[in-house]
Amino acid sequence: MADIVLRTEGAAGRITLNRPDKLNALTHGMCLAIEAALDGWSRDDGIALVLIDAAGEKAFSAGGDLRFIHDAAVAGDYAVPREFWRDEYRLNLKIAEYPKPVVSLMQGYAMGGGVGIGCHASHRVVCETSRLAMPECSIGLVPDVGGTWLLSQAPGHVGEFLALTAGRMGPGDAVFAGFADHYLPRDRWPELTAKLARGTVSAVADMAEPAPAASLEGDRGWIDSAFSLGGTGPILEALGEMDFAAPQRGRCRRQDGNGCPACSALPSVSSQANGAPAARLSNGFPAAPVHAGFRGACRAETAAALPGAVRRAEATGNAAQAPAPSVPPE
């Protein structure tokens, strides 16, 4: 089975990532094949737009296939990752600057390299299963594939929050943070695809439905208050001083107990069945690792909740010891 399926369908150039058993993780060969197809279609007057989608239900693409990069690095062959990232980054830029509309349909996981393929498109569509993230900081790396640019465009300091916590965005949060443009339920994608094959790119906006509520929008107060500070130390200290005690709204305990305006929108906390408080910080999908620290006002708990590789890199000044990542949980 080919890792990628390239074809034309009416007025659309079609790119389908086709490694569903590997969560459509990108290989070097896939990146080169996508680039070659884009170059050819850019000169083809019969192609009005490009559509990028993926096989399977679990993932658009959970990222680059880092296993071969890890194995090459362990063997001392650093040319392999350099060549892969060079070609991948060139592809990301080509998608962002493509002279024709590029539509991406991102179901399930779209993370890391998957963001680089899908989120630089001109028309980005998510559905009810979409889970987007730039999780590089969880393994001690800096968000790449143009992800730092995307994060910098997010409202307020949401970008810093998403980068440092490797936080996952549901469809509403992805639209709010600027990683997607439109929401359309998955069962309507075949209808959209048929219209795109006729070259009707306006169908993306015409068919779009209101996105689900964005939890990040409601959490802007405490996110901006903490993540506007310079460095993880001050951020952790600020988070440790925030009061999330139920049933009242959280407030900042700095300045002799006087809450600051930026902390007035802290999330309320509800009690779980076992009596343990849990901040309502997501739309039901697994919370980012840092969220565990919001269950109390203990600075040590908050520090422990940040991705381990971030703390190691900060302590040693060397992120090279970060372990190879695993695929997201089902």
Which of the residues are catalytic?
64, 113, 136, 144
Query: Residue 165: what residue type?
Result: T
* Structure letter (DSSP) for residue 4: E
Which of 214, 207, 199 is closest to 168 using CA atoms? Answer: 214
Locus of tokens 């509403």:
172
Q: Is 20:59 a contact under the CB 8 Å cutoff?
A: yes
Tokens of 32: 């080169």
Q: Phi and psi (nearest 5°) for 146? A: 75, 5
* Max Cα–Cα distance, the chain, nearest Å: 68
b or e along 213-248 (b: 16 or more beta carbons within 10 Å of the residue's beta carbon)? ebbbbbbbbbbbbbbebeebeebbbbbbbbbbeeee
Integer angstrom CA distances of residue 117 from 187, 189, 203, 265: 22, 19, 21, 34
Going by their DSSP bridges, the two strands 49-54 and 242-243 should be labelled as unpaired
